[in-house]
Amino acid sequence: MSEHFQPHLPLPQATAAPYTRSRPLPPYRGIVAVDAKDFTGYPAIEHDLISRAIPQLLARSFERAGIADVWNDRRFPDSTGDGFVFGFDPTAMPFVIHPWLSTLQEVLTEFNVHSMGAVRIRLRVSLHIGPVTDSGEREDGKGTPRNDTHRLLDSRPVKAMLAASSENVTQVAAILSDRCHQDAVESGYTGRHLDYFTEVPATVEGKSFAQRAWLYVPAPSGTLYDRRILGDQVIEDQEAQRAHEDSPRDPGHVADPRTVTNRADNGNVNTGTVHGGQSVNNTRTNTHVAGDQFGGSKAGTVHGTQGDTVRGDKNSGHR
């Protein structure tokens, strides 16, 4: 018998199989994950600098936003090399959405200006809420919400949104889970109107993941304002619709439903194609994804209620 064998120590007990008995849910936590754009595009010698800078920038941004406790009391924190993830009290989620995302945009702008172009850190951010393990151990944070947070972070729409914006202006592109949006934004608890958020189907290249999610960019810029980002088909549909509206009315004519768009109360047409091939028709107070599936073309555009649009493809995470 090995001298290292200690028979008095209890063996780890396997947890009961799913669906065999009822057990308490793990505590609900807000989860925030960030990821640096084009991390692998930098020389390896700069990777450590970026990895160390990200948590420092996060700490500074939470303090400046007036919610330092979210960072100081973070649960199951983990550096991912090119990013960072941790859990927090979900009651703080409205403040994490606003003002923290906007403050993070400001902090990164300052950092990038003073870095003199040597290293620029632009972050994708994902936010989610759900039950995950949290007993105070380092290995905590396990559960489907944690997995989904990382899938959202890697999803096509948020990558395309950051890639299509100006690196001189837009430093943050965020994606919220539908649960997070429902609980913190639609409820009215967040100090940002619904129209700041654009509904998209979040899919990940090579993964069986498809969920409704919401994009938010604190400082839109660059080609997000370029109508050509909509793509030829969307522009042709818009022009056809305008021509139809300007032509004499035929009482017996039925409009082609493929060219019908919804209008906000102020008369602006908000129509576009989201990444994944689904049509998004936005109104002033609500947005929805048309179509029953999140599949479809791997190239598309995102169009939001602020007039922000983005074109992306399956490799749009890099310039």
Please state, as a whole number, how many other Cβ atoms lie within 10 Å of the Cβ of residue 143. 18
Pair of tokens at residue 106 = 């400001």
Specify whether the CB–CB gap between 161 and 310 falls below 8 A: yes
Residue 143 DSSP label? S
Please report the pLDDT score of residue 114 as a whole number.
87
| Interatomic CA distance for residues 47 and 250, integer angstroms | 64
The set of residues, in sequence order, having a beta carbon less than 8 Å from that of 238 and lying 6+ positions away, is 230, 261, 269, 271
Q: Which residue has the higher pLDDT, 269 or 231?
A: 231
Please compute the mean of the pLDDT values over residues 123-152 and round it to a whole number. 96
| Interatomic CA distance for residues 287 and 248, integer angstroms | 31
| Interatomic CA distance for residues 281 and 275, integer angstroms | 14
- Between vectors from CA 260 to CA 257 and to CA 290, what angle results, nearest 5°? 75
List the single range of 12-26, 63-77, 140-154, 158-172 with lowest mean pLDDT.
12-26
Residue 216 has pLDDT above 80, yes or no: yes
Please compute the mean of the pLDDT values over residues 120-145 and round it to a whole number. 95
Please state, as a whole number, how many other Cβ atoms lie within 10 Å of the Cβ of residue 65. 21
Residue 206 has pLDDT above 80, yes or no: yes
Please state the domain extents for the chain. Answer: 28-220, 225-312
Task: Identify the CATH class of 28-220.
Answer: alpha beta
Please report the pLDDT score of residue 10 as a whole number.
60
Q: Which residues lie across from 130 on neighbouring strands?
A: 29
Please state, as a whole number, how many other Cβ atoms lie within 10 Å of the Cβ of residue 239. 11
Q: What is the mean pLDDT of the chain?
A: 77
Specify whether the CB–CB gap between 277 and 271 falls below 8 A: no
Please report the pLDDT score of residue 154 as a whole number.
96
Residue 207 has pLDDT above 80, yes or no: yes
Please report the pLDDT score of residue 247 as a whole number.
66
Q: Which residue has the higher pLDDT, 135 or 238?
A: 135
Please compute the mean of the pLDDT values over residues 19-27 and round it to a whole number. 93
Residue 226 has pLDDT above 70, yes or no: no
Please report the pLDDT score of residue 37 as a whole number.
92
Please report the pLDDT score of residue 241 as a whole number.
65
Q: Which of 72, 98, 37, 309 is nearest to 200 (CA)?
A: 309
pLDDT digits (tens, 9 = 90+) for 33-63: 999 998 877 888 889 889 999 999 999 999 9
Which range is most confident: 39-48, 152-161, 299-308? Answer: 152-161
CA dihedral 256, 262, 268, 274 (to 10 degrees): -90
Please compute the mean of the pLDDT values over residues 198-203 and round it to a whole number. 91
| Interatomic CA distance for residues 51 and 32, integer angstroms | 16
Please compute the mean of the pLDDT values over residues 163-184 and round it to a whole number. 96
Percent of the chain having pLDDT more than 90? 53
| Interatomic CA distance for residues 245 and 224, integer angstroms | 27
Half-sphere exposure of 49 (CA within 13 A, CB side): 12
Residue 294 has pLDDT above 80, yes or no: no
User: What pTM did the predictor assign?
Assistant: 0.68
Please report the pLDDT score of residue 40 as a whole number.
78
pLDDT digits (tens, 9 = 90+) for 64-73: 999 999 999 9
